[in-house]
Amino acid sequence: MRRLYFVHITAGLLLSIGVGAAQQWVVTRTKADIEAEIKGTQVSVALDRPSIVAGEPLTLTVTIRNETGTDKMRCTDKNCVAWTVRSPSGVVASAWQPPRSGDMAGPAALLAPHASRSFSVVASDTAGIGAPGSYEIVVRYMDMAWDQLGADAEPRSFTVLPRDEAELAKRARELSEAAVSPAADVLAFQSLAVIRYPVPEPALCDAIDHNVLAAQYLVPRLEASGDAEAVGCLVNQLGKGGLNATVIIAALGRMTRTQVDPTLRRSIEDGIAGACARATPDTPWTKGACSKP
């Protein structure tokens, strides 16, 4: 029997390739098709720099090339790559495997024969490597619908330098500045979210204020802090409405269940109640978040 493999279609995929192309690609691929596509995919990886200080993440640029004789659809984001970082002795220091449920498909590109496309990702887990030394990262480009099939890039070596508070402080400042610049992208937000250094909460709040994409990465860091400044930032951002309302209300809702300070808990509850009371059809994101149980 001919078996078809389906993948969850997201807005990112539809915007990248169009509804018609996405539908045709998703419903006509069999396992044999996917195997052939993977064999015809060449993957290479470049590191943004040869060394990082313990506590900061590594950034990768992944390039995929279509080595088949026909046009092929290729995913172009973090949800289609996996990697493993090993020490010289072979011990796994960190690893990433993309989720295989929910919105697992993102941006994609239709590549002509021998055409290539590059995209950058933050290897967030590498911020947790605390032992200085040499490491090797192996990146695998995986199919969105069949994650047992993949094409491996050549291993890349990098060095983790001893933790240096001054260097981490400098890097945190650079990321904070990049996050509020007109050219800010998700790489700055992702790096700022995971760097193992106490980023000032006003810097996180400024980034959220400047770019709607920042919230999904930086709100969890504010939530984890849970202090008065973090609560004030989130409540203030919620009062502005907009696309961030859903993620902020969800975070504040969790904070009401974990916050032990009754004054802060009341501030959170009042902030949510106020935003929901002001929600109108003109603020659909806030209204939608408030209607969830």
Could you tell me the CATH superfamily of domain 11-161? Macroglobulin (MG2) domain (2.60.40.1930)
What distance in Å separates the CA atoms of residue 208 and residue 59, rounded to the nearest whole number? Answer: 21
Amino acid at 4: L
Residues facing 161 on adjacent strands:
53
pLDDT digits (tens, 9 = 90+) for 141-198: 886 555 556 788 999 999 999 999 999 999 999 999 999 998 888 999 999 999 999 9
Phi/psi at 158 (nearest 5 deg)? -150, 165
Among residues 19, 152, 22, the alpha carbon closest in space to that of 74 is found at 22
Residues facing 81 on adjacent strands:
141
Under the banding of pLDDT at 50, 70 and 90, the label for residue 245 is confident
Confidence at residue 40, expressed as pLDDT on a 0 to 100 scale: 81
> In this model, does residue 1 exceed pLDDT 50?
no
The alpha-carbon radius of gyration of the chain (Å, integer) is 21
Among residues 246, 249, 293, the alpha carbon closest in space to that of 271 is found at 249
Phi/psi at 208 (nearest 5 deg)? -65, -35
pLDDT digits (tens, 9 = 90+) for 207-216: 999 888 899 9
The ranges assigned to domains in the chain are 11-161, 165-291
| Pairing relationship of beta strands 51-53 and 156-161 according to DSSP bridges | parallel
Sequence-distant (≥ 6) Cβ neighbours of residue 177 within 8 angstroms: none
What distance in Å separates the CA atoms of residue 88 and residue 83, rounded to the nearest whole number? Answer: 16
Amino acid at 168: L
What distance in Å separates the CA atoms of residue 238 and residue 235, rounded to the nearest whole number? Answer: 5
Confidence at residue 90, expressed as pLDDT on a 0 to 100 scale: 92
Q: Are 28 and 139 in contact (CB under 8 A)?
A: no
> In this model, does residue 288 exceed pLDDT 90?
no
Collapse the DSSP code of 119 into the 3-class scheme (helix H, G, I; strand E, B; otherwise coil) and give the result. Answer: strand
The pTM for the full model equals 0.79
pLDDT digits (tens, 9 = 90+) for 200-233: 999 999 999 988 889 999 999 999 998 999 999 9
Percent of the chain with pLDDT over 70: 78
